[in-house]
């Protein structure tokens, strides 16, 4: 009908010059005031300058008849959607429309002719828009001049369109109604899509932000995410109080992250860099802990449980879409949790690295830095001859007297004051810590010589011993210093620190108020006895390659043929000589030293398994048993490392047998059960060592899937003389057989013992009768000579 109205108006103009307004039914006919209205149009009709500054809504007209473009524009010339005008784009074919749609993703509505290049060109374009261009937002109204060509119901069902109308039935009112409904639907879908994208950004941002553990990195990320969330290109500034405060005030805020003009202003007070007009807005948001907006900008507050005042100020007036505002408020709620987490993490991290009373580093962190400094010292190629680093331990003389006479509160204040003096005395490369109690540590940078270090320590002692005013009390502290000069990384950090601490103790022993230097480490003869000296040597025995393995044969009871070996750890100290396992194993067990030592044993054993099984002349399988400590198993790292070692050695897991003791299981039964089950799942065999010496042995056999059970040598060596012991041995072997568990008798030293055990059904023997622990070369010779298939 629009097309008919268009022709009627043109004919009327040609015959009469113009229409009279009362001659036309305004509901059904379009009246053109000037011929130019329908003849002089560009491809794209730009939006007129609206007084309210609202952006126009873009509509694409797709029709191969130019007249339909003109008449449609005229019919909608006064159309407004919530005050917004239309901006028209024109395409005269489906292919041209596809190109325009690919280049413009903000088109809200398409008036699309069905029949153009082909009878179904319009319908095919709908498919392209939805499937190829993946544009699900744009609304489509199909128009056709051939209404009977395709049933309206089928088109509506098969194609994602808003409406399907014949051109001759679209009056001006109907067209406006259809366009209004389509644009309203577009806006609703646009709001849904905006919300979806915003929520996706918030989820992604939350995942990214919550990985941060540094407050500066976290807040900078918050600024960038807000900028992305609202697609805001102007400056932004995140401000936060460094510590929780009861009275939040704009004067206490500092910039800690920003973009554009604020990016280089970190640390500045907000009141000195923000627009003056923005300060009342920021103060209002801060005081009310609510989001605020005004002419000067927008402020979003992060309401944290820690009550740390933190907010984002968006510079300048920002016309936020209601959905953007809701998303920002939701995002701020999520970020507030992040602020609390990062703040808590920084507090915990600080506490883990620092002493609470003095603010100095703690002992653990000091040792880490000392180790790093020692490595750096060894790697320096430009070091002058004779240079080194100084390590100092400072002890307060008669500190107990201060605590007893003046009280512990005064004692704490004295320690804090001394820490402040020590911090002030430090050079740029120096590091100080509180070791424990009244002891402080100091790591000096490069020192020219031991003489120079002695002079520095004496200057330090005199500087720290000046009178202290603590409240109404004057305290004159006296200090003892022990120091050591280090020119290489020969010794680990804790050994160097121990030397300096021992020198400090020596200084106190001679009356205090003096400095003493520790003797050079290479001049000290290691102690030949004592757990402290043994621990010191044990700490770097692995690094100095002082460990080796001995291999004790395990044989089949019936054939007496070699079945495998047990790997036994030995320590050959350069001065102490061969250190008996009973002397150092318990020391290693009581520290973490057993973990790297135990790991080395397993790695070495796996390499040896591979070599032996390659040497076996008939393809025999040689098992190797290794003891595992409780601490090594409970670290939780063994499983992953064991998997890696097995792959690296290319060894069948079934050729490795890990032996655990009853005492290990008793330490943490549930955790041990989980760990051993996971190790068993790798294919590694398990053996219960020293069976019968504990009180819960039988319950372990039911709970753990052991492959082997080792009879302790105590039972084996006394069973011939003691009938009660013999009965225990019989019971254990019978029990193992009923559970399909192999038995290995340890400490078999006589043929009589072997004969008796064989008769009772014991599967394997281990003991001096069949071989003492052998060096790797001797054990390898036996493997090559025997070359028989072994039973797994």
pLDDT single digits (tens) 608-633: 998 888 876 555 678 999 999 877 88
Q: Which pLDDT does position 189 carry in this prediction?
A: 76
Q: What is the dihedral of CA 761, 765, 768, 771, to 10 degrees?
A: 140
Helix 594-615 crosses helix 776-786 at what angle (to 10 degrees)? 30
CATH of the domain spanning 210-353: 3.30.450.40
Distance of alpha carbon 69 from alpha carbon 96, whole angstroms:
15
Q: Is pLDDT larger for residue 519 or for residue 755?
A: 755
Q: Which pLDDT does position 634 carry in this prediction?
A: 77
Flag whether pLDDT at 277 surpasses 60: yes
Least confident of 49-53, 584-588, 716-720: 49-53
- Phi, psi values for residue 101, rounded to 5°: -70, -35
Flag whether pLDDT at 107 surpasses 90: yes
State the residue for tokens 């960038």: 224
Q: What are the tens digits of pLDDT across the range 13-50?
A: 333 333 333 333 333 333 333 333 333 333 334 434 34
Query: What mean pLDDT is predicted for residues 84-102?
Result: 93
Query: What mean pLDDT is predicted for residues 582-601?
Result: 85
Distance of alpha carbon 543 from alpha carbon 489, whole angstroms:
12
Q: Which pLDDT does position 30 carry in this prediction?
A: 34
Nearest to 60 by CA among 109, 106, 129: 109
At 191, is the pLDDT very low, low, confident or very high (cuts 50, 70, 90)?
low
Q: Which pLDDT does position 28 carry in this prediction?
A: 31
Q: 757: burial class by Cβ within 10 Å (0-12, 13-18, 19+)? A: buried
Q: Which pLDDT does position 458 carry in this prediction?
A: 85
Distance of alpha carbon 229 from alpha carbon 225, whole angstroms:
6
At 238, is the pLDDT very low, low, confident or very high (cuts 50, 70, 90)?
low
Distance of alpha carbon 577 from alpha carbon 748, whole angstroms:
28
The third-level CATH classification (topology) of the domain covering 538-786 is: TIM Barrel (3.20.20)
- Supply the Cα-derived Rg of the chain in whole angstroms: 43
Helix (H, G, I), strand (E, B) or coil at 90: strand
Distance of alpha carbon 625 from alpha carbon 706, whole angstroms:
13
283 neighbors 277 (Cβ within 8 angstroms): no
Q: Average pLDDT over the chain, rounded to whole? A: 78
Distance of alpha carbon 596 from alpha carbon 729, whole angstroms:
36
Q: Which pLDDT does position 791 carry in this prediction?
A: 40
Q: Is pLDDT larger for residue 498 or for residue 35?
A: 498
Helix (H, G, I), strand (E, B) or coil at 21: helix
Check whether domain 2-194 has CATH 2.60.40.10, yes or no: no
At 773, is the pLDDT very low, low, confident or very high (cuts 50, 70, 90)?
very high
331 neighbors 200 (Cβ within 8 angstroms): no
H helical segments located in 311-449: 322-353, 363-379, 399-406, 408-425
Helix 363-379 crosses helix 493-509 at what angle (to 10 degrees)? 120
Distance of alpha carbon 603 from alpha carbon 644, whole angstroms:
10
Q: Is pLDDT larger for residue 692 or for residue 537?
A: 537
Least confident of 46-55, 564-573, 758-767: 46-55
Residue 163 neighbours by CB under 8 Å, 6+ apart: 141, 142, 178, 181, 182
Query: What mean pLDDT is predicted for residues 206-218?
Result: 58
Distance of alpha carbon 149 from alpha carbon 381, whole angstroms:
89
Q: Is pLDDT larger for residue 780 or for residue 384?
A: 780
Flag whether pLDDT at 233 surpasses 50: no
Flag whether pLDDT at 299 surpasses 90: no
Map out the domains of the chain as residue ranges. 2-194, 210-353, 363-524, 538-786
341 neighbors 276 (Cβ within 8 angstroms): no
Distance of alpha carbon 678 from alpha carbon 681, whole angstroms:
5
At 312, is the pLDDT very low, low, confident or very high (cuts 50, 70, 90)?
confident
State the residue for tokens 């100091």: 442
Q: How many CB atoms lie within 10 A of CB 601?
A: 21
Q: Which pLDDT does position 697 carry in this prediction?
A: 55
Q: Is pLDDT larger for residue 89 or for residue 373?
A: 89
Q: What's 363-524's CATH class?
A: alpha beta
Distance of alpha carbon 387 from alpha carbon 383, whole angstroms:
7
Structure tokens at 195: 């919300």
Query: What mean pLDDT is predicted for residues 131-149?
Result: 81
Say whether pTM exceeds 0.85. Answer: no
């Amino acid at each position: 009908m629009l097309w008919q109205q268009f022709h009627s108006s043109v004919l009327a103009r040609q015959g009469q010059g113009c229409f009279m307004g009362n001659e036309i039914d305004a509901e059904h006919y379009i009246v053109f005031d000037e011929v130019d209205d329908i003849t002089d149009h560009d491809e794209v009709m730009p939006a007129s300058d609206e007084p309210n500054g609202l952006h126009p809504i873009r509509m694409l007209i797709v029709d191969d008849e130019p007249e339909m473009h003109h008449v449609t524009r005229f019919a909608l010339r006064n159309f407004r959607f919530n005050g917004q005008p239309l901006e028209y784009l024109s395409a005269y074919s489906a292919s041209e429309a596809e190109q325009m749609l690919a280049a413009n993703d903000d088109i809200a509505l398409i008036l699309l002719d069905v029949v153009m290049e082909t009878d179904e060109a319009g319908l095919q374009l709908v498919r392209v828009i939805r499937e190829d261009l993946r544009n699900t937002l744009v609304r489509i109204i199909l128009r056709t001049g051939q209404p009977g060509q395709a049933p309206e119901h089928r088109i509506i069902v098969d194609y994602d369109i808003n409406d399907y109308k014949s051109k001759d039935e679209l009056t001006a009112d109907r067209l406006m109604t259809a366009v209004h409904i389509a644009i309203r639907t577009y806006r609703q879908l646009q709001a849904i899509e905006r919300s979806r994208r915003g929520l996706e950004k918030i989820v992604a941002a939350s995942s990214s932000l919550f990985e941060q553990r540094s407050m500066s990195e976290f807040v900078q990320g918050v600024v960038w995410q807000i900028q992305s969330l609202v697609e805001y290109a102007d400056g932004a500034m995140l401000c936060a109080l460094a510590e929780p405060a009861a009275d939040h005030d704009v004067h206490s805020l500092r910039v800690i992250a920003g973009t554009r003009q604020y990016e280089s202003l970190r640390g500045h007070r907000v009141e000195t860099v923000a627009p003056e007009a923005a300060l009342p807005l920021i103060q209002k948001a801060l005081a009310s802990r609510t989001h605020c907006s005004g002419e000067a900008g927008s402020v979003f507050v992060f309401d944290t449980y820690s009550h740390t005042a933190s907010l984002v100020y968006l510079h300048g007036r920002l016309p936020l879409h209601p959905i953007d505002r809701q998303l920002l408020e939701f995002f701020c709620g999520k970020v507030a949790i992040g602020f609390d987490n990062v703040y808590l993490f920084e507090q915990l991290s600080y506490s883990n690295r620092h002493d609470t009373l003095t603010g100095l580093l703690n002992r653990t962190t000091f040792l880490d830095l000392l180790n790093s400094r020692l490595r750096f010292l060894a790697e320096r190629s430009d070091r002058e001859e004779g240079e080194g680093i100084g390590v100092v331990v400072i002890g307060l003389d008669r500190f107990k007297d201060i605590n007893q006479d003046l009280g512990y509160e005064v004692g704490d204040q004295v320690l804090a004051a001394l820490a402040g003096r020590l911090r002030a005395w430090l050079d740029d490369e120096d590091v100080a810590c509180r070791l424990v109690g009244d002891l402080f540590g100091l790591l000096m940078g490069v020192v020219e010589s031991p003489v120079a270090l002695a002079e520095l320590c004496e200057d330090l002692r005199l500087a720290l011993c000046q009178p202290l005013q603590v409240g109404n009390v004057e305290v004159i502290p006296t200090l003892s210093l022990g120091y050591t000069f280090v020119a290489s990384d020969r010794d680990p950090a804790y050994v160097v620190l121990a030397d300096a601490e021992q020198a400090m103790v020596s200084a106190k022993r001679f009356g205090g108020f003096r400095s003493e230097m520790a003797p050079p480490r290479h001049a000290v003869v290691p102690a030949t006895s004592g757990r402290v000296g043994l621990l010191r040597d044990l700490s770097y025995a692995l690094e100095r390659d002082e460990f080796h393995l001995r291999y004790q044969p395990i044989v089949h009871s019936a054939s007496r043929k070699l079945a495998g070996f047990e790997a036994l750890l030995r320590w050959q100290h350069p001065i102490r000589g061969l250190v008996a396992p009973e002397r150092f194993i318990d020391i290693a067990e009581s520290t973490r030293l057993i973990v790297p030592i135990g790991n080395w044993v397993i790695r070495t054993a796996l390499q040896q398994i591979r070599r032996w099984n390659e040497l076996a002349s008939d393809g025999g399988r040689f098992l190797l048993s290794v003891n595992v400590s409780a601490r090594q198993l409970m670290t939780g790292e063994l499983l992953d490392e064991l998997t890696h070692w097995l792959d690296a050695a290319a060894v069948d897991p079934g050729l490795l047998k890990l032996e655990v003791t009853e005492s290990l299981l008793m330490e943490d039964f549930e955790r041990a059960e989980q760990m051993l089950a996971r190790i068993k799942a790798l294919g590694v065999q398990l053996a219960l060592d020293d069976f019968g010496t504990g009180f819960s042995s039988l319950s372990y056999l039911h709970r753990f899937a052991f492959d082997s059970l080792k009879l302790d040598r105590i039972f084996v060596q006394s069973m011939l003389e003691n009938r009660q012991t013999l009965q225990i041995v019989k019971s254990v072997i019978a029990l193992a057989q009923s559970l399909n568990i192999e038995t290995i008798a340890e400490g078999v030293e006589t043929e009589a013992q072997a004969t008796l055990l064989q008769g009772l059904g014991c599967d394997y023997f281990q003991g001096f009768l069949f071989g003492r622990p052998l060096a790797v070369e001797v054990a390898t010779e036996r493997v090559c000579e025997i070359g028989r298939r072994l039973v797994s």
